[in-house]
Structure 1
Amino acid sequence: MTEPTPRLQLLTRTGCHLCAVAEETLTRIGAEAGLTPVLVDVDGDEELRAEYGDRVPVVLLDGREHSYFTVDVVRLRRDLGTG
């Protein structure tokens, strides 16, 4: 049986300062909705690196790209039903 896609994911890479900022923001906003973001290193997967590697951090909501470079807090809260 296949694991379901985590609701909230953050695509990151080691040494990315924007990723650290996005992780803090996403953790805070996710907590408001009872969610813990799952961190995924794009450099550990060739397909992810090819698709998202030039614009990390990338926020995925329900498996779809939600924002990149920064967390769109207003939109994310709205889409999570917390804002």
Structure 2
Amino acid sequence: MVGREGCHLCDVAREVIERVVAQTGDSFAEVDIDADPELSRYTDEVPVTFVDGRQHDYWRVDEGRLRAALQQ
């Protein structure tokens, strides 16, 4: 997940992701967009989620859609 400190959508997305990966046995990493200039193209879309290195969602994380993507 690409996010930023103080982002309420990131807080919600993190909770959803943590819940899903706890059920699927997967893991996730979070990257601070403000600490990596390479990620600035996502600044208006945070939080941005990736599955297997490909952009999956932005702004909101749909729990069912994320679960389905991780199970593929």
Same fold? TM cut 0.5: yes
Aligned to 1:64: 54
AA in 1 matched with 2:48: V
**Following superposition of structure 1 onto structure 2, how do residues 1-83 of structure 1 map, counting pairs within 5 Å?**
10-49=1-40, 51-81=41-71
| Aligned-pair CA distance for 1:36 | 2.3
Structure 2 unaligned runs (5+)?
Answer: none
AA in 2 matched with 1:56: V
TM-score normalised by the chain length of structure 1: 0.79
Show CA shifts across 1:17-70 (max 9, x none): 110110011000011111221010011111102x21111001111111100111
Task: Please tell me the root mean square deviation across aligned C-alpha atoms, in Å.
Answer: 1.3
CA distance in structure 1 between the aligned counterparts of 2:46 and 2:68, rounded to whole angstroms: 22
AA in 2 matched with 1:75: R
SS in 2 for 1:38: coil
If you compute each CA radius of gyration, which structure gives the higher value, 1 or 2? Answer: 1
Runs of 4+ in 1 over 6 A off after TM superposition: none
Structure 1 unaligned runs (5+)?
Answer: 1-9
Identity %: 47
